[in-house]
Structure 1
């Protein structure tokens, strides 16, 4: 009999789990807040067709974080700087979907190549380099947690203050412009908020898989709900479950946090897709 290559004990170990939860409470708090705010802003990302832009912003955020790692600066500040540069460029130059996709397509390889260059020059711990791509649950210190909470609060307040005009502009930009809503200013401000939350997500889940918290929960919620209040609340719930559930599983595992978060997020989406499909069959039968 051939022995399995990987034993479950190599993937999950709940020994001293309670002590780990207490030790990494900062990461759990950061993940919970990020999941909630990421789910909310993800609804507008879907409505404005910005899923591709999220990935483009994350690549430049990765480059900024890698530059900060190389030069001994704050990784959080570096990722915020890179994300804001990308978000403002996309907001200013990509008013039309075709232009926006072209700009994102240019920024993505540039940001990824720049980040890889900085990481190749960095001679520190390899775990620090790897965490920028796949996330790191043990890297949230007290100062970093303060940054993360502050940024998420700013993003949440910004969303609440511009909620109605942003929703109007997201669903019907032509009618919103005709009603006198400053659509260009709202679009640019939203891109800044998106850049901030992407930078936070890169710090937790990594640059490669950031869409698991900023796109998938909202996409899942829009599969099973349609109300203007139900969809954001459901998306925030899905984001919270994905982030916190993934971190709690990662504490008992030996893998990076991102596979757990992305798997939970994907499973939620699959369940919502099945529910939507079953509803459609029931309606057609009726």
Structure 2
């Protein structure tokens, strides 16, 4: 549980900050697709005898850029999502069957596992999280400009193409990190709902990121505790809490208007 709480804290911080830009860049669809790709990557890692996280990093990093390009135009976005998601799920099932793993291991990959977090996983996640946060600090001003005023960024001659590639790689790393707690199929919860709720309460990027991190921390910490005392899946509690926060935000916004 100590390892799970350390990992969960890292996940909440990364997901809250990245989620602000995911929402601003209308890339919620991509986090959903990357969740299936993460499942295939984790299954491939098990098949190869690697740590699941390493397989996730390989698959999500390579795929994020390609899927981002496929879904760049809204006219083909849904078809691209359907094709890549179907292929990823099929590959994940294939790799798991070839690896001959037990059902509980597969369930842990799909829906997360508290007891599956080792100290080595935490150290690896700390390194990945530090890399993501450091990169965000370096490109923050440019990424904010490109995310919230893309037309102005292009007019100013900002290196939007390179920024997009960097952001997609950071998103792939974030997906791989978050999957350790919530599972590969529910990653999009932490990368979308906290930030989506935060935008109804505050109106600056910095405040949105801070509030999104708080919402993510509430969901992860509470979900881990409830999972410990009930022995129910942690992903269920995190999903329920984050959805509840989002619906409260909608209700508050409705009441204001």
TM-score w.r.t. structure 1 length?
0.86
Structure 1 residues 97 and 186: alpha-carbon distance in aligned structure 2, compared to 1, 3 A threshold: farther
Q: Which residue of 1 aligns with 2:161?
A: 184
Offset, 1:207: 1.5
Aligned to 1:223: 200
| 8 Å CA contact retained: 2:111, 2:186 | yes
Return the offset for 1:255.
1.6
Residue of structure 2 equivalent to 1:82: 59
Asked if the contact 1:223/1:276 (under 8 Å) is kept, the reply is: yes
Higher helix share: 2
Does structure 1 residue 51 correspond to structure 2 residue 28?
Answer: yes
1:30 to 7, 18, 27: 7
Unaligned runs of 5+ in 1: 1-23, 281-286
Tell me how far apart the structure 1 counterparts of residues 205 and 177 of structure 2 sit (CA, whole Å). Answer: 26
Q: Is the 8 A contact 1:220 1:268 kept in 2?
A: yes
* From 78, 93, 102, the counterpart of 1:125: 102
The answer as to whether partners of 1:61 and 1:207 remain within 8 angstroms in 2 is yes
CA distance in 2, matches of 1:163, 1:105: 32
For this pair of structures, how many residues does the alignment match? 257
Q: Deviations over 1:253-277 (max 9, x none)?
A: 2221100111111111111111111
Which of 177, 182, 185 in structure 2 is aligned with 1:205?
A: 182
Aligned twin of 1:21: none
Report the alpha carbon displacement of residue 174 of structure 1 after superposing the two structures with TM: 2.0
Match of 1:164 in 2: 141
2:140 is equivalent to residue 140 of structure 1: no
Alpha-carbon distance, 1:117 to partner: 1.2
Deviation at 1:106, TM superposition (A): 2.0
Work out which of the two has the higher radius of gyration on C-alpha atoms and give 1 or 2.
1
The 2-side partners of 1:188 and 1:115 are apart by 25
1:239 aligns with 2:216: yes
